[in-house]
Structure 1
Amino acid sequence: MKITLIAGARPNFMKIAPIIHAIKKAEDNGANITYRLVHTGQHYDEKMSDTFFHELAIPAPDAHLGGGGGTQAEQTAAIMVAFEKELMNNPADLVLVVGDVTSTMACAIVAKKLNTKVAHVEAGIRSFDLTMPEEINRMVTDSITDYFFTTSVWAGNNLKHTGIADDQIFFVGNVMIDTLRKNEARFVKPSLWETLNLSQGNYFVMTLHRPGNVDEQAKFKALLEAIIAGSNGKPLIFPVHPRTKNIIEESGINLDDIPNLHLTSPMGYLEFNYLVKHAMAVITDSGGITEETTVMGVPCMTLRDNTERPETCDVGTNELVGTDPAKVGPALAKLFAGNWKPGAIPEKWDGKAAERIVDELLKL
């Protein structure tokens, strides 16, 4: 079986790493399975992609499509044009896509138009919010996928409700957690730990990137002010994209007047997760981080009105705070009062999802 693996954006790399390792292990044991790794180039900043290949022991891509930059439509088109040529020159039995980024949808469409089977890892998750580009990517990808690998029973039920047959759905667990478990002992203390005199459980990690939170200056400013006011002066570590930093500066917030807010450049996987593991809590609008905080037992506040990963709330340490700045203070007060839920680990989030995926692929 020849498999083409697709990766394009930062969240993808944590998901393909364990799959690559599981394929290589099966191949070394005599299984008839090989892979070709295609990097679409959707994230082309070194901190957003190349660093992850080194840290997670991912081999150099067999092809780099250079599809980064431009609007979503331009990026989708560039990836599709480039991947069509790639797949025609290097036919596969199966194209395996992961997650919900532009590359996921674009490459799935190309594969199906070339009559190639598609497998989707992390299939079936839904926020039911069509203002999110990722939700459209998920829905389109799942509408043309042949084999669905899910992280939860909830995701599988979403697929069944759209008419997907049971024998196409494989509940395997969460490959993000495979990567987390494999690398947890390798987490690296960043230099800012000493510089800022951080200590375990005595600071916050922040990540905010969704347009609804950061693109409207007034709202973004109100969210930041609410977080700062409710943090009781504890350090707020905020890795930001340069674009987000510019929005902060344009909003009129004087960073010199906020000694506990520390903006940093985007971090590599090992340094960032060291900070997450030892934080008092994480404040985010990301989906993937809520999975990692759940497994590491770190309180997580999600500044969104919905989530495609409800198991992180129902079982884990995550809570949907919402996007209203007025709700941030009460959530932080709850944390400081010691009333945050302890959480547990969802079913099959045990570090063996990639092995299950490869086992199922070998049966196809």
Structure 2
Amino acid sequence: MTYTIATIIGARPQFIKEAPVALALRENFKEIIIHTGQHYDRNMSRVFFEDMAIPEPDYNLNIGSGLHGEQTGRMLAGIEEVLIKEKPDYVLVYGDTNSTIAGALAAVKLQIPVGHIEAGLRSFNRSMPEEINRIATDRIADHLFCPTEHAVSLLSKEGMTKNAFLTGDVMYDACLHFLPLSEQKSNIVQSLVLTGKEYLLLTIHRPSNTDNPETFLSILKAVAESPWPVVFPRHPRTKNVMKNPEIRDILSKAKHLKIIEPVGFLDMLQLENHALKILTDSGGVQKEAFFLGKPCITLRTETEWVETVEAGYNVITGADPEKIVQAIHTFYPKHEREQYYGDGQAARNISEQIKKVIIS
């Protein structure tokens, strides 16, 4: 008998995680991919499927952007319709986006077992929509696939131990698999004339940093003091705030700031791998920096990936310009990295665990 897994994805980080998981799942199951369309810009969606050879989505709901309630509600309705039609044996959701909670809710209400990849993460900042999504998803999912021991321990403190499994991190799987391919196929470092240069890599996309011009301006003022070139792949969310006159003035004066369009995973790996330091508010980029041994300056007041901070490879600055400038000039790791994220077999571990629970 062939069992069917319905995988719900919709945003850039989920595409990256899906790549190794799809390979592992399809050894044992039929997989249906439902793309909510949460990220729809080509540079935030299509390019990932092309670069990483992710199987084409069986369904694309084309939900697009919107207020959280509206977007999640439309996703819930669209996913439910597909699940009723396809009748999968299991639903798999990733991370902490609106696609995650919508997929989990749709499945649970139809009494279909749900597995949550990247379960157990907590920032303890309930103003982040992602924090609410991950807490709610962990509460209703049947199986919790945890990337780290810390994630398992947090679930234990919340009374969730029976169905929590330490699997390792699927993003580490993806990094190990695609780094050699990116070295062969990507020429972005050369095309930006960065070969042989020391440079910083900057990414900003969190609403807490992009929706408030003053916060965004604080970050840019600090980055403008960098003695090195700064490469800034601009997230679509930043376009409006960058129209602010003060921000435009800073950008016009920061000649060493290279603003580029969003890039695919292979190009991003090369930009990260050749950077001197990385500044970001992205959880995924924090981990990728750690995987590649790069100092990371996190433009938030907290992180889910506490291991990277404890290891001395990540420093939390928020949008405080003084802290950012100091970290740009002085922050470097002092110790060798420990291995927190598994051995590159997380996707296979998850597939095997699903196999056990479905057959039993």
Partners in 2 of 1:243 and 1:120 — Cα distance? 27
In structure 2, do the counterparts of structure 1 residues 362 and 61 end up closer, same or farther at CA, with 3 Å as the change threshold? same
Q: Name the structure 2 match of 1:11.
A: 13
Matched, 1:37 2:30: no
Matched, 1:352 2:345: yes
Q: Name the structure 2 match of 1:237.
A: 231
**Alignment map for 1:49-198 (pairs within 5 Å):** 49-166=45-162, 168-187=163-182, 193-198=189-194
Write the letter of the residue equivalent to 2:168. G
Write the letter of the residue equivalent to 1:356. N
Partners in 1 of 2:196 and 2:336 — Cα distance? 19
Unaligned runs of 5+ in 1: 28-32
Write the letter of the residue equivalent to 1:17. A
Matched, 1:21 2:16: no
Deviates more, 1:205-214 or 1:296-305: 205-214
Please tell me whether the aligned partners of residues 144 and 165 of structure 2 are also in contact (alpha carbons under 8 angstroms). Answer: yes
Matched, 1:216 2:212: yes
In structure 2, do the counterparts of structure 1 residues 242 and 119 end up closer, same or farther at CA, with 3 Å as the change threshold? closer
Partners in 1 of 2:139 and 2:245 — Cα distance? 41
Partners in 2 of 1:95 and 1:201 — Cα distance? 46
Matched, 1:266 2:259: no
Write the letter of the residue equivalent to 2:347. A
Q: Deviations over 1:208-261 (max 9, x none)?
A: 1112222221221122111211x11x1100011344134223142323322101
Deviates more, 1:249-258 or 1:58-67: 249-258
Partners in 2 of 1:126 and 1:332 — Cα distance? 27
Q: Percent identity?
A: 39
Match of 2:243 among 235, 242, 249: 249
> Is the partner of 1:206 in helix, strand or coil?
strand
Please tell me whether the aligned partners of residues 238 and 261 of structure 1 are also in contact (alpha carbons under 8 angstroms). Answer: yes
Deviates more, 1:319-328 or 1:76-85: 319-328
| TM-score, reference length from structure 1 | 0.92
> Is the partner of 1:301 in helix, strand or coil?
strand
In structure 2, do the counterparts of structure 1 residues 316 and 268 end up closer, same or farther at CA, with 3 Å as the change threshold? farther
In structure 2, do the counterparts of structure 1 residues 127 and 243 end up closer, same or farther at CA, with 3 Å as the change threshold? closer
Write the letter of the residue equivalent to 1:155. A
Write the letter of the residue equivalent to 1:14. I
Q: Name the structure 2 match of 1:276.
A: 272
Partners in 1 of 2:187 and 2:256 — Cα distance? 17
Partners in 2 of 1:218 and 1:321 — Cα distance? 16
Please tell me whether the aligned partners of residues 280 and 297 of structure 2 are also in contact (alpha carbons under 8 angstroms). Answer: yes
Partners in 2 of 1:313 and 1:57 — Cα distance? 33
Please tell me whether the aligned partners of residues 294 and 345 of structure 1 are also in contact (alpha carbons under 8 angstroms). Answer: no
Q: Deviations over 1:122-175 (max 9, x none)?
A: 000000101101000001101101101001111111111121133x11101000
| TM-score, reference length from structure 2 | 0.93
> Is the partner of 1:164 in helix, strand or coil?
coil
> Is the partner of 1:103 in helix, strand or coil?
helix
Partners in 1 of 2:131 and 2:170 — Cα distance? 20
Deviates more, 1:255-264 or 1:196-205: 196-205
Please tell me whether the aligned partners of residues 217 and 251 of structure 1 are also in contact (alpha carbons under 8 angstroms). Answer: no
Deviation at 1:304, TM superposition (A): 0.9
In structure 2, do the counterparts of structure 1 residues 114 and 242 end up closer, same or farther at CA, with 3 Å as the change threshold? closer
RMSD: 1.7
Please tell me whether the aligned partners of residues 221 and 251 of structure 1 are also in contact (alpha carbons under 8 angstroms). Answer: no
> Is the partner of 2:175 in helix, strand or coil?
helix
> Is the partner of 1:187 in helix, strand or coil?
helix
Unaligned runs of 5+ in 2: none
Partners in 2 of 1:162 and 1:287 — Cα distance? 22
Match of 2:334 among 336, 341, 344: 341
Please tell me whether the aligned partners of residues 188 and 270 of structure 2 are also in contact (alpha carbons under 8 angstroms). Answer: no
Please tell me whether the aligned partners of residues 316 and 343 of structure 1 are also in contact (alpha carbons under 8 angstroms). Answer: no
Partners in 2 of 1:283 and 1:120 — Cα distance? 28
> Is the partner of 2:194 in helix, strand or coil?
coil
